[in-house]
Amino acid sequence: MKKEIIYSLPGLYRDDFRVTGYRFGKGEQCCCIIGSLRGDEIQQLYMCGQLVQTLSQLEKKGDLAHDREVLVIPSLNSYSTNIGRRFWCLDNTDINRMFPGDPDGETTQRIAAGVFEEIRQYKYGVQFASFYIPGVFIPHVRMMKTCKENTSLANLFGLPFVVLRTPTAMDKTTLNYNWQFSGTAAFSVYTNATETVDEGSAELGVSAVLRFLSRMGIIKYKCHGGYMGTIIDEDDMMNVKSGAAGIYRELRHVGDEVTKDDILAQVIHPYEGTVEYEIKAPADGIIFFAHQSPLVTQNSLAFKMIKRLHK
């Protein structure tokens, strides 16, 4: 293992900002794994740490391919993590909306440009990602629909679902999208937590990446076969929104199979304790994503559901 500074910025009133990377093996730039791009992505940071530990042990045992290199970058935003902020602590901008970056631009644009220049040549790229709304997903791997995506490769992670997303204008400044356009096969791995560590789903995420590396011949690692993932298009999912604002009481959970008109959650009046609104399933299906915050606003996304195609 070789620990090095991938990118740095001089600090005026505190220590210099540094992006640290861990290189394993040498040779072809084969796979790069990125953890926390936002300051509150603790689960994603934790999973990268577990990967660093496991890959270090495999390297010592000689279980890395002799002509392949793996790079792990646990965090691109340690400043914000240190003070409990989600976005860049000085101007509240999102590094994952700054790619491919600008070496002469604002701070987060320079960070994105500096890191992207280092990682754009890797054959495979994996990002431990988080959603823009606080909530819980069924663990899955996600790819942008850029006409360069490869669902067969995505299935090698062995997660239950492979989700294809049609990129919007906002997505075109993300790491995943720009990785794909630079020629890297890019995958985003989603698990059950962001601001906390969920050991069970973290283990699933780490195992998925190790399974992928093993199946691509990059490491020697014994693991169970995982799932034959179901490929779904995000556009085909049902968005279930809250019809009122208030205190959120979840009644059904991610992974639950539900039938039409099942009550998924209740919105409670914060002063009077009465049920202001019941969020119901619009059809038979599986809960893929669930809002996870004690408060909910009117018309905000509460659930994403996969519609049951066959009865």
* Tens of pLDDT, residues 5-16: 999 998 777 788
Q: Give the domain ranges of the chain.
A: 2-233, 237-307
> Which pLDDT belongs to residue 222?
85
Q: Cα(302)–Cα(248) distance, rounded to whole angstroms?
A: 9
Q: Is the pLDDT of residue 95 over 90?
A: yes
Instruction: Work out the average pLDDT over 251-265.
Output: 96
Nearest to 156 by CA among 92, 223, 241: 223
Q: What percentage of the chain exceeds 90 in pLDDT?
A: 86
Q: Is the pLDDT of residue 134 over 60?
A: yes
Q: Cα(14)–Cα(190) distance, rounded to whole angstroms?
A: 33
Class for domain 2-233, per CATH? alpha beta
> Which pLDDT belongs to residue 310?
53
> Which pLDDT belongs to residue 77?
95
Examine residue 100 and say whether the peptide bond preceding it is cis (omega within 30 degrees of 0).
Answer: yes
> Which pLDDT belongs to residue 217?
95
Q: Cα(162)–Cα(221) distance, rounded to whole angstroms?
A: 23
Q: Which two tokens stand for residue 17?
A: 């900002």
> Which pLDDT belongs to residue 159?
95
> Which pLDDT belongs to residue 227?
86
The pLDDT-based confidence of 98 (bands split at 50, 70, 90) is: very high
Averaged pLDDT of the chain:
94
> Which pLDDT belongs to residue 239?
96
Q: SS3 for 233-293, per residue?
A: EHHHCEEEECCCCEEEEECCCCCCEECCCCEEEEEECCCCCCEEEEEECCCCEEEEEEECC
The pLDDT-based confidence of 229 (bands split at 50, 70, 90) is: confident
> Which pLDDT belongs to residue 225?
79
Helix (H) or strand (E) holding 190: strand 185-190
Q: Tokens 């067969």 sit at which residue?
A: 152
The pLDDT-based confidence of 89 (bands split at 50, 70, 90) is: confident
The pLDDT-based confidence of 133 (bands split at 50, 70, 90) is: confident
Q: Is the pLDDT of residue 166 over 80?
A: yes
Q: Which CATH architecture group holds 237-307? A: Beta Barrel (2.40)
> Which pLDDT belongs to residue 90?
84
Instruction: Work out the average pLDDT over 231-251.
Output: 96
Q: Is the pLDDT of residue 43 over 80?
A: yes
> Which pLDDT belongs to residue 288?
96
Q: Is the pLDDT of residue 228 over 90?
A: no
Q: Which residue has the higher pLDDT, 189 or 133?
A: 189
Mean pLDDT is lowest, of 45-54, 109-118, 215-224, 287-296, for 215-224
Q: Is the pLDDT of residue 123 over 90?
A: yes
3-state helix, strand, coil in the chain (%, to 5): 25, 35, 40
pTM: 0.92
Instruction: Work out the average pLDDT over 236-247.
Output: 96
Instruction: Work out the average pLDDT over 65-73.
Output: 95
The pLDDT-based confidence of 268 (bands split at 50, 70, 90) is: very high
Helix (H) or strand (E) holding 211: helix 199-215
Q: Is the pLDDT of residue 272 over 60?
A: yes
Strands across the sheet with 275-280, in order? 275-280, 263-268, 246-250, 295-296
